[in-house]
Amino acid sequence: MPKYTYQGEMGRVSARTAAGPVVLPKGVEVEITDDQHEALANHPLFTALEKSGELIISEVKKAKPSSKADTAAAKAKREAELVEVKAKLTELNVEFSDDESLEDLQAKLVAAK
């Protein structure tokens, strides 16, 4: 879990997050939950404190990169599978509608074989 150490001028810094309150006394390393870290990572005050060096954050798990490119690649792969299954169903003269899911079409293909 992430550890925060506040080294600024105030005696402590605190925030209330959806995952619970966070209190960072000056000079004390405090372990917080991943959910609290996510909430604070997007908080403008804590971002500014980190950039200024008054807040040190350590032991943060690096999340898997979830980029739009990954999502687009997954969508393209699913679309290709859908086209392939529809082509096989057409070859076997099995009727289907355009609004059926890939899973439904795959089940029809298995039943038709």
Find out whether 57 and 78 touch, Cβ atoms under 8 Å: no
Residue 64 covered by a domain: no
Q: Identify the helix (H) or strand (E) that includes residue 57.
A: strand 55-58
Residue 65 covered by a domain: no
Find out whether 105 and 82 touch, Cβ atoms under 8 Å: yes
33 vs 71: CA distance, rounded Å: 27
pLDDT number for residue 66 = 59
pLDDT number for residue 98 = 83
How many domains would you assign to the chain? Answer: 2
Domain coverage including residue 20: 2-59
Tens-digit pLDDT profile for residues 54-93: 999 988 766 555 566 677 788 888 888 888 989 998 999 9
Q: Model pTM greater than 0.75?
A: no
pLDDT, mean of residues 50-56: 91
Find out whether 4 and 56 touch, Cβ atoms under 8 Å: yes
Residue 15 covered by a domain: yes
Q: Are residues 79 and 51 in the same domain?
A: no
pLDDT, mean of residues 26-42: 90
